[in-house]
Amino acid sequence: MSLSGPVIEAQEADRMQWWKAAKFGLFVHWGLYALHGKGEWHMSGAKIPVKEYEKLAERFNPVKFDAREWVALAKAAGMKYIVVTAKHHDGFAMYHSEHDPFNIVDATPFRRDPLKELAEECQREGLRMCFYYSHVIDWHHPHAIHEFYNNTWDYPLEEKAFYAYWNRKAKPQVKELLTKYGPVGLIWFDTAGGLSKKDSQEMIDWVRDHQPTCLINSRVSHWPQYAGDYSSKGDNEIPMHGEDSRPWETPMTLNDSWGYQNKDQSWKSSEALIRKLVHVASKGGNLLLNVGPTAEGDIPDESVERLKAVGRWTSRFGEAIYDTTPSPFHYEQEWGAITVRDTTLYLLIHGPYWSKGGIDLYGLNNAIRHAYVLQGDEDADEARKPLSVQQHYHAAVGLHQLHITLPPSAPDDVVSVVALELDGKPHVDPRWLQLPTGDIRLDIAHAEVKSGGEAGNEAGWSFTMLEPGEFDVVMIAFKRFNQEWSAHCHQEVIATVAGQQVSCIPAVDKLLEDTPTCQHPYEEVHSVLGRVQIRQPGEYDIRLQSAWVKEKTGFFEAWQAAPIRLRSLQLVKVAP
């Protein structure tokens, strides 16, 4: 019997359900490379010969590894799935593989199968066990071929025969993972550069044949039509709202490394991590947060502390994260983020904004039945006590405005939550509205893009101005940290609004290294293009012409994202 379109769609929706509700998972990069403490790319970076690298296995004895501790930590953080490196680019299997003796049971004094122990513990504790598998890069196997990253120091490229690797190692090992470890939540493939459409499809079919409900991430392939069940964003990349039409996930490091790096002490704070989780959920994504255990098998203290701190927050306010859908607003609110469950809107308010006594939200067309603060403690006296809300209709521009008065103290210093129970599903004004701060934020993901002339393509939006005045026109871009701005940015950018034109070669007027959506390896660059006056309330068009405005092409290997990516154009109100 052949399955028709709607039947296939229903099956896809079904297998995605747990993952969409989960929102938060643990990524684990663990392997022989932990012995060097220089990250999982060290073999390639130092061109370590296979014979020498193999010797690491004789010393790998992670006696402190305890599956119960790892799973308990993930659970305490509020994570619902664990993705562990079954085989990374070094080709070493962290489980008992019959297809290659270069594995943790046969090649190390440890002789245990940690993935089996983790899978069993996950089953007991109700988490989904998932495996990372580097299906194209394999520096240990003489015949693995990637587009760029091959072991050519041991094996000349011209002597490689890809299918000897693909058929005798990659596919058989993936089958082992799918047949010997119980139900597998997903296989997280990585770095598919050079894999053909046919081989991409073959790997997808292979997974489906062995476990039809197992999810597959987009990095299984470079070809959009063979890109699995959901989109893996670039490493540490949080997209713009609505940028991806597919379900997506951001893989994120706790410091700047995946595998254990003893010198990397560039830890994100617990507060920053909570805000990132909130912003990812608000845009409809999942956050996959990484730890890099040591060669002894324990998770570094700095990681444990952070995951526990995030867990203290999720255990109180998880109602606003798990099983929610994205904010119905296509722009970010300056005070925080929004998630939705059915007819409830959750406003996740960053600590400093609480102290202002109240917050405003424009463009929510529903009536509010009940507004209350989530105390994060069911016994609290104030639980679900109604908040005072004022709703006002601005007739001149046809806009609903909402003001919520907040109690003096916030339940949480980092992010507190106000729940708004609405009279129905959220119904939001679709226009780009001036925010209560007076600013206007226009995301490039939602612009109408036209191919342009010499200055580049043109991005256009229409927005609604409520309170006119003087505005700085600011361009926001994400730049990779190791890129010189001036090397990429030597062309004029032109913005046109309300009959005025501003133009310049954008400079780095402000550089932010850590915001709720921007972190290493990206930096957020603000460039002031000029100043404009808008004298009347009403509807306006704005256009941005720049070589960086790209036609929407869709797919590229996200971890190698462009050195500079345009994010938004903002009108920032100048204080009178």
User: Residues interacting with ligand FHN, by CB under 6 A?
Assistant: 29, 40-41, 190-191, 235, 251, 258, 559
Residue in this structure with the two tokens 């890809």, named with its chain if needed: 162
Task: Rank residues 417 and 558 by Cβ distance to ligand FHN and give the closer one.
Answer: 558
For 562, half-sphere exposure in the C-beta direction (CA atoms, 13 angstrom radius) is 12
Tell me how far, at minimum, the Cβ of 235 lies from ligand FHN, in Å.
5
3-state secondary structure of 143: coil
Residue number with CB closer to ligand FHN (29 or 171): 29
Q: Which residue is nearest to ligand FHN (CB)?
A: 559
Tell me how far, at minimum, the Cβ of 301 lies from ligand FHN, in Å.
22
Q: What is the CB neighbour count within 10 angstroms for residue 500?
A: 13
Nearer to ligand FHN, 29 or 80 (CB): 29
Name every residue whose Cβ is closer than 8 Å to that of residue 291 and which is 6 or more positions away in sequence.
26, 27, 28, 29, 254, 299, 300, 303, 307
Structure tokens at 306: 């952070």
Instruction: Specify the residue, 46 or 383, whose C-beta has the smaller distance to ligand FHN.
Output: 46
- For the bound state, the minimum distance from the C-beta of residue 41 to ligand FHN, rounded and expressed in Å, comes to 6
Other CB atoms within 10 A of residue 410 CB: 19
Question: How far does Cα 558 stand from its chain's mean position?
Answer: 11
The tokens 């601005």 sit on which residue?
A: 394
Q: Whole-number minimum distance, CB 375 to ligand FHN, in Å?
A: 37
Cis peptide before 537 (omega within 30 of 0): no
State the Cα–Cα distance between residues 229 and 12, nearest whole angstrom.
8
Beta strands 399-405 and 440-443, pairing class: unpaired
Rank residues 133 and 165 by Cβ distance to ligand FHN and give the closer one.
133
Residue 91 Cβ vs ligand FHN, minimum distance, rounded to whole Å:
13
User: In whole angstroms, how far apart are CA 361 and each of 57, 190, 272, 331?
Assistant: 57, 40, 24, 12
Query: Least CB distance from residue 148 to ligand FHN, whole Å?
Result: 11
Of the pair 261, 568, the CB lying nearest ligand FHN is at: 261
Choose between 253 and 457: whose C-beta lies nearer to ligand FHN: 253
Give, as one character, the DSSP assignment of residue 35. G
- Minimum CB–partner distance for residue 251 and ligand FHN (Å): 4
Shortest distance, CB of residue 39 to ligand FHN, whole angstroms? 8
Nearer to ligand FHN (CB atom), residue 83 or residue 435: 83
The radius of gyration of the chain's CA atoms, rounded to the nearest angstrom, is 25
CB atoms within 10 A of CB 485: 18
